[in-house]
Amino acid sequence: MGLVMSYAADLHTHSRFAMGTSRSLDFGALVRGAKTKGIDLLATADFTHPVWIEETRAALSETPDGLLALDGVSFILGTEVNCTAQQGGRGRRVHVLLFAPNLGAVDAINARLASSGSLEGDGRPTLRLSPRDLLAAALDVDERCFVIPAHLWTPWFGLYGAKSGFDSLEECFGDLTGRVHAVESGLSADPAMCWRVPSLDGVSIVSFSDAHSPGRMGRELTVFRGEPSYDGLRAALARQQIEYTVELFPEEGKYHHSGHRKCGVRLSPAAAARSGGRCPKCGRPTTKGVLQRVEELSARPAEADVDGAGLIRSRSGRPPFRRMASLGQIVSEALECGPTAKRATAAYAALVSHFGSELAVLLDAPEGEIAPLAGERVAQGISRVRNGDLTIEPGYDGVYGSVTIWPGR
């Protein structure tokens, strides 16, 4: 057909059965969230959980393209697993996203994984299994299964994390490294940070929300190019067919800088290096942030340029990305009220219904059309976020960073 299609995907989501998630996360909420945010393809999430997979089976219908559907939203069977195993003489804990082409494969995978840990408690199960052995077990069930290491850089649970991760994909996946085609940058990192690491040159850098409540769906996402099907997505990952990813400012993440939360000490990579991994206040070990970890594993400086459309582009032709804040935050800051105040929800609803989705408002809505619907100040806020004209406090050691559009209030 030669028609180039693109679709927005959020493939790291959760159900209400994963630890720490909202009780309201059912398929109704996921579908409403996808439509409001502008997400075309969602992960079904938590497919190892016995109750949730039954809800999945009952609510969604499998389609011939290897996906599932509900009310015009497409889903892919996907889950997150906490892999804990000794590798290379060290205990490792790594979160991995796992995807399967049909419900039959999911049943077979779940039957195998049940011997490695409990699937009944947490929707993101902790298994005594290395990421390599998880991938091997899935491939043994169906060759089309694939994995994406989740939030690659976070100190705990990231494959490149400082606490219990690895220094390379090879060290983790060994003989199966060639089967890993993508990594998730995570909230505390962005693609430009990943471009600095040569061992990631051959893999797609993707971004998803890791939403624990419906409002956070799509806060980061990936717009893929190609056929929106299970095999189309696999091909897009293998060939880096990505239009762009949408990223929060990585400083907002909980582990961007290094530091010590108890003492309120935040350290840039340079300051962390000077302090020798110890808190300058109390002398305890600091938590190494994502930026410091990138410095350790990178081999070249950051090389990125912003083009006329606001896309941040690498000089070596990697897929670009855009930085964003949530529309709810922009509206609430602009109108100086809480995000659930009537004025804020009315402005939000007016914009989303006019432009079709939150993503369309944030990325594509002409500034001149925003003001008549939601006011001059909201229009100004969106344009400030698009231009990166913001005040940013980096997160560290589990403390979220903050992005403020109008400082000094």
Beta 258-260 vs 242-247: how paired, if at all?
unpaired
C-beta of 210 vs 333, nearer to Zn ion: 210
C-beta of 240 vs 286, nearer to Zn ion: 286
Asked if residue 82 lies in contact with residue 93, where contact means CB atoms within 8 angstroms, the answer is yes
Q: Out of 51, 111, 270, 282, point to the residue binding Zn ion (CB under 5 A).
A: 282
C-beta of 12 vs 132, nearer to Zn ion: 12
Asked if residue 189 lies in contact with residue 297, where contact means CB atoms within 8 angstroms, the answer is no
Provide the 10 A C-beta neighbour count for residue 307.
Answer: 9
Provide the 10 A C-beta neighbour count for residue 143.
Answer: 10
Closest CA to 159 of 102, 83, 216: 83
Burial class for 8, CB neighbours closer than 10 Å (0-12, 13-18, 19+): buried
The minimum distance between CB 150 and Zn ion, in angstroms, equals 5
CA distance 94 to 132: 11
C-beta of 216 vs 318, nearer to Zn ion: 216
C-beta of 232 vs 289, nearer to Zn ion: 289
Please tell me whether residue 260 binds Zn ion under the rule CB under 5 A.
Answer: yes
Phi and psi angles of residue 175, each rounded to the nearest 5 degrees, phi first: -65, -20
Please tell me whether residue 281 binds Zn ion under the rule CB under 5 A.
Answer: yes
Binding to Zn ion in span 67-126, by CB under 5 A: 95
The pair of structure tokens assigned to 407 is 């400082």
The pair of structure tokens assigned to 81 is 């697993």
The minimum distance between CB 103 and Zn ion, in angstroms, equals 24
Question: For the window 115-154, what string marks contact with Zn ion as x by the rule CB under 5 A?
Answer: -----------------------------------x----
Coil/strand/helix, residue 35:
helix
Contacts of 310 (CB under 8 A, 6+ apart): 322, 386, 387
Alpha-helical runs (H) found in 114-217? 131-141, 169-173, 191-194
The minimum distance between CB 126 and Zn ion, in angstroms, equals 11
The minimum distance between CB 212 and Zn ion, in angstroms, equals 10
Please tell me whether residue 304 binds Zn ion under the rule CB under 5 A.
Answer: no
CA distance 69 to 66: 10
The residue with tokens 């907002």 is: 252
Phi and psi angles of residue 46, each rounded to the nearest 5 degrees, phi first: 50, 40
CA distance 379 to 368: 8
The minimum distance between CB 356 and Zn ion, in angstroms, equals 30
The minimum distance between CB 275 and Zn ion, in angstroms, equals 10
C-beta of 139 vs 263, nearer to Zn ion: 263
- Of 14-22, 282-290, 319-327, 340-348, the window that binds Zn ion (rule: CB under 5 A) is 282-290
The minimum distance between CB 408 and Zn ion, in angstroms, equals 29
- Of 58-66, 163-171, 200-208, 257-265, the window that binds Zn ion (rule: CB under 5 A) is 257-265
C-beta of 4 vs 282, nearer to Zn ion: 282
- Of 41-49, 238-246, 280-288, 380-388, the window that binds Zn ion (rule: CB under 5 A) is 280-288
The minimum distance between CB 162 and Zn ion, in angstroms, equals 16
- The strand pairing partners of 9, in sequence order, are 41, 222
C-beta of 259 vs 328, nearer to Zn ion: 259
- The strand pairing partners of 62, in sequence order, are 68
C-beta of 151 vs 313, nearer to Zn ion: 151
Please tell me whether residue 11 binds Zn ion under the rule CB under 5 A.
Answer: no
CA distance 299 to 196: 6
C-beta of 263 vs 273, nearer to Zn ion: 263
Q: Out of 263, 273, 306, 399, point to the residue binding Zn ion (CB under 5 A).
A: 263
CA distance 395 to 259: 9
CA distance 15 to 26: 6
The minimum distance between CB 263 and Zn ion, in angstroms, equals 3
Please tell me whether residue 302 binds Zn ion under the rule CB under 5 A.
Answer: no
Can you give the binding site for Zn ion, defined by CB under 5 A? 95, 150, 260, 263, 279, 281-282
